[in-house]
Homo-oligomer: A and B are copies of this chain.
Amino acid sequence: MPLTRDDARARDAVDPLAEHRRRFTFDDDVIYLDGNSLGRLPAATPAALAELVERQWGVDLIRSWPTWMSEATATADLLGEAVLGVGPGQVAISDSTTVNLYKLAVAAVRARPGRRRVVVEADNFPTDLYVLDGVARDHGLELTRVQADINGGIDAADLAAVLDDDVALVCLSHVNYRSGALLDMEGLTTMAHDAGALMLWDLCHSAGSALTPLAASGADLAVGCTYKYLNAGPGAPAFLYVRADLQPELRSPIQGWFSQTDQFDMGPDYRPLAGIERFLAGTPNMPGVIAVREGVRTIADAGIDALRSKGVALTSYLIELADDWLAPLDFRLASPRDPALRGSHVTLEHPLAWQAAQAWIADGVIPDFRTPDRLRIGPAPLTTSFEDVWVGLDRLRRLVADGEHLAFPVERGRVT
């Protein structure tokens, strides 16, 4: 098919998710290709927050707490079912991804005493590396960083090379934050288990856009954020997953009162709850929970299978355009070409990526820049159209062909 704007429109016309765009606000005038960093605002969220703030807090005051506690649990279970495909009682909404990763990683390494190593992908998201570095040091463990192809992700051979019965925990990102590589959750989890290690998945860049076979893989633990594909807004609370049968043997190092049995008895001694709530810490952030609920509903209503299909179609189309228009301008694909190995964002390498990003933004298109020299382009399955992708890439090829990017400062261009 020719790569015309009409062709892009034709793809939108038959997109079964196209109508779901109406559930979001589009009051801006940009082509937004950064939904994998901060998802768009669901149209229902402002009213839901107003109800929480103005009626439940403003009028009902402290009397709303029973409602709020139920809401937090129900939202966690909805996220588990609609986004992660897991049964109730295994997901909690709390804290940030960083804090959740810390809680679960500490719990995990303590559940494998005697094992002296933690394995992580060298190109995992930085906060994961930093957190695990601290957890390993604090427990006298060695952190083994597996280096994979920076444009791909780690595979079975990479993991096999470092796995043995001295590994307590393996922590990998399901979709790599930079390359978009989608790892084989089932195969890699089985390998970790065969070595007797626990497996912790970071789902930040996959939850809400990729299938997450937590149940089928038997994965032990997962964490993820809600402000990307789950559309819950800046800094919304994160989630964590602990497989039901594993919950009794793991303990959070942060023994907060929301994980306490009979919390409002306020007894002097800590007795953690039996279920997923034992991984909670402090008082739930209710505006955050409500924003997560509204964001998760947009995913639930579209259906995760349809979202995954749309994500594959969007990124494949993006790569097709990039091959045709951008490769001649020195752009190289820095993501897996096989859609089965790719999440919902595409990364392009270019020697002047930082300048290209600035020029593109000035031209009304918002991507992400990622070190060292990459444009990260995230067409969100729920809110990005094929025409958005066409217009965005059309502007990029024109401005780079015209050398417009050369007018932008280079100072951030080569950080490492």
Contacts and interface: CB of A to CB of B under 8 A. Distances in A.
Contacts of A284: 234-235
A138 interface: yes
Interface stretch (A25-33, A76-84, A390-398): A25-33
Given A57-B38, A61-B40, A260-B130, A254 B99 contact: yes
A141 to B, nearest CB: 14
Contact of A255 (B30, B131, B256): B131
A interface, size bucket: 35 or more
Contact of A268 (B53, B59, B122): B122
Given A122-B268, A288-B235, A53 B46 contact: yes
Interface in A183-225: 225
Interface stretch (A1-9, A62-70, A156-164, A319-327): A62-70
Nearest to A30: B61
Contact of A254 (B129, B131, B263, B268): B131
B54 A266 contact: no
A309 interface: no
A265 interface: yes
Interface of A: 25, 27-28, 30, 32, 34, 37-38, 40-41, 45-46, 49-50, 53-54, 57-65, 68, 95-99, 102, 122, 125-127, 129-131, 133-134, 138, 145, 225, 227, 233-238, 253-258, 260, 262-263, 265-270, 281-289, 291, 366, 368, 370-371, 415-416
